[in-house]
Structure 1
Amino acid sequence: MTPWEVFAVKYADRNARTRKDSFLFDDNHDQPHDMDYFLWVLRQRDEIVLVDTGYDMEEGERRGRPVRLNPAEALAPLGLSPDDITTVIVTHLHYDHAGGLKHFPNATIHLQAAEMAYATGPCMCHGTLNAPFTADHVCEAVQRLYSGRVVFHEGGGEVREGVTVHRTGGHSKGLQVVRVLTEAGWLCLASDASHYYENFLEAKPFPIVVDLDDMLRGFKTIQALASSKDLVVPGHDPLVRQLFPVHGPDHIVRLDRGPLKGIGS
C-alpha cells in the first residue's frame, strides 16, 4: 500500500482553561491547561481526505471562542481550497469538528451511524448532552444525507486504501478515530477519543463524556491501532506542535514522518 502524507492544521486555541476542564479526576484542577483546535489533511498524490472541518468565525463569536484562522483559509498553504475537498471524515458532530461542513459544499461525509442517531435523537433533550452540538451543523449533515452524500459506518470501515475509521464512542456516542498508513507506520488520529496525550497515557477521562466505559476502552483502542504510542495524535493537545515538525507556516505540522522526539523525551 502507498503511504499517506498527514498534516495537522491548527485554526484556533483556547487558553483561559484549567485542568478541571480537561480531566475528570485530577489533583491539580486549578492549574492552567491550554487547548489547540485542529483539523487534519490526508494526501496521497492528487487524492485528498479531510478529517473534520473545524468551526468558523460565526460559531466562534457565538460561543465566545474566537477563531485565529478561518479553517477553510488555513488549508491554503497546502494548495487546497474548500471546493477541492470531496471527502470529509467527520469524527463526530460536535461544533468544533463539524462546524464548517457548509464551507465544503462538494464533500461527501463519512460518519458513524451511531453519531447521526445520537445527534438527532432523544438524548438531545438534555442540555448537558446537547451543549457541544449546534443544530445548524447537525442539519447540514442531515441535508447531506438527503442529497446522497453521507457514507455511514457501523464500527469499523475503509474510506480509502490505507485509511480506516473505527468507532470508540465515549466522548460522543458515535465518535470515530482514523487509522492511516504513513511512512512512519500506522498513525491514529484520535480526535476526541483522547483530547490530550495525558488522557490516554494515564487513563484520565475527559469531563465531557456520554459513556465512561467506552472512553476508557477507547484509550486502549487508539494505542492498539497505532504502530507505537508516539503515532497516536490527540485531538487538542498543544504538545502536538512541539513534537512534530512545522510544515511551512507555523499553524501546520507534518505527522506522517513521525515526531521529532518521543512522548516524554
Structure 2
Amino acid sequence: MSGVYDLYAIRYAARAAKRQEHFIGGDPHDSPMPMDYFVWVAVDGERAIVVDTGFTEEVAARRKREFLRCPIDSLNLVGVDPAKVQDVVLTHLHYDHVGNFHKFPVAQFHLQEPEMHYATGRYMRFPKLAHSFEPDDVVGMVRLNFARRVRFYNGMKEIAPGITLHRIGGHSAGLQCVRVNTKRGPVVLASDVTHFYENMESGRPFTTAFHIGEMLEGFETLEELAPTHEHIIPGHDPEVMRRYPAPRPDLAGIVARLDVDPVGGPAPGPSHPPH
C-alpha cells in the first residue's frame, strides 16, 4: 500500500426537494433543490475502504426516494468486490448511510462510539430524532458488535495509512468525516457534516440536527482538515457529479473521481463571517 488512494463517489439514489427543506431557519426562496445519495470508496492497489453503505430498495420505496441502483453492487463499476472488502467506515447510523451492511461478509465496520450510544439510547423515544434511523439497521450493528466486527473510536483515528476519521457530531451524535490522502492532496469526505456546498459556505446547517453548535463547529473543522474548499466533498450535493469527472464516459452521472481536480469550476469560499 502506498497510502495514496483513488477516490470515488457513487450516486445511488435521489429525491426532489425544495430549498427551505435544507437550511435551519428556512430559505426565502421556494425553488427546487434536489438531493443525491452517495457511497464512497478509496482504493489503493488491492485494498479498498468503503465509506457508508446507502439504503436498500425496500427502504427507498417506503421513504419515497428514487432508487437508481444498488450502491454495493455498484462498487463493481470501479473494480471493487464487496465480498472482499475488509474495512467499511460508517459516518453515522442514519438510514441512508448504514443499510446494506449485510453485503459485506468479511468487513470490519468503523464507527464513532457516541453514535452507537445515541442510536440505542434514550433519545430514540423522540420521533423527530428516531425518524432518521431504521431499527433493523441499528439492531444489525449491535449484532455485528457481538460478532466482534465493529471497531469503535472517540475522536480522531488513523485506520489505514493515509485515511483518518474525525468525530464531528451535530447532525447525529457520533457523525464522523473521513480524510483521504490522494494524488491531489487530502480530500475530506464530509458526509452529513455539510449536506450541500451551500450549507457550509453560508454557515446555515441542514434541518436534521442533534446539536446545532457542533454542526457550526463542524464547518470550521472541515476547513481545518482540507487544504482548500475544492478538497471538501459534501454528502448529498448533486453538484459533486457536475464538478468531478467520471472514470469513463459510460459512468457519467453514476461515478465521480474525487482524487482529481474538479472540472466544473472552483468551489467558492465561505460567505458567512470569518472565524
Is the aligned partner of 1:202 residue 2:210? no
Match of 1:72 in 2: 72
CA–CA separation in structure 2 for the residues paired with 1:194 and 1:244: 18
Specify the SS of the correspondent of 2:30: coil
CA–CA separation in structure 2 for the residues paired with 1:2 and 1:109: 20
Shift of 1:101: 0.9
CA–CA separation in structure 1 for the residues paired with 2:230 and 2:28: 25
Counterpart contact for 2:48–2:80, Cα < 8 Å? no
Match of 1:253 in 2: 256
CA–CA separation in structure 1 for the residues paired with 2:227 and 2:181: 10
Specify the SS of the correspondent of 1:223: helix
Matched AA of 2:177: V
CA–CA separation in structure 2 for the residues paired with 1:110 and 1:210: 21
CA–CA separation in structure 1 for the residues paired with 2:28 and 2:107: 43
Measured against aligned partners, the alpha-carbon deviations of 1:178-202 in whole angstroms (never above 9, x if no partner) come to 0111111111000000000001111
User: TM-score, normalised on structure 2?
Assistant: 0.93
Matched AA of 1:14: R
Match of 1:4 in 2: 5
Q: Map residues 43-54 of structure 1 onto 2, 5 A cutoff.
A: 43-54=43-54
Shift of 1:84: 2.0
CA–CA separation in structure 2 for the residues paired with 1:68 and 1:76: 15
Unaligned runs of 5+ residues in structure 2 are 270-275
Q: Map residues 54-69 of structure 1 onto 2, 5 A cutoff.
A: 54-69=54-69
Q: Map residues 177-216 of structure 1 onto 2, 5 A cutoff.
A: 177-216=177-216
Match of 1:35 in 2: 35
Aligned length: 264
Match of 1:131 in 2: 131
Q: CA RMSD in A?
A: 1.3
CA–CA separation in structure 1 for the residues paired with 2:18 and 2:27: 12
Counterpart contact for 1:83–1:105, Cα < 8 Å? yes
Counterpart contact for 2:92–2:111, Cα < 8 Å? yes
Match of 1:263 in 2: 267
Counterpart contact for 2:229–2:268, Cα < 8 Å? no
CA–CA separation in structure 2 for the residues paired with 1:205 and 1:242: 23
Matched AA of 2:247: H
Measured against aligned partners, the alpha-carbon deviations of 1:12-68 in whole angstroms (never above 9, x if no partner) come to 1112x1011111134434211110100000000011100000001111112121311
Specify the SS of the correspondent of 2:67: coil
Counterpart contact for 1:25–1:205, Cα < 8 Å? no
Shift of 1:258: 2.4
Matched AA of 2:3: T
Measured against aligned partners, the alpha-carbon deviations of 1:140-198 in whole angstroms (never above 9, x if no partner) come to 11111000011111011111011000011010000000011111111100000000000
Specify the SS of the correspondent of 1:12: strand
CA–CA separation in structure 2 for the residues paired with 1:255 and 1:191: 14
Unaligned runs of 5+ residues in structure 1 are none
Specify the SS of the correspondent of 2:259: coil
Match of 2:119 in 1: 119
CA–CA separation in structure 2 for the residues paired with 1:61 and 1:12: 11
Specify the SS of the correspondent of 1:13: strand
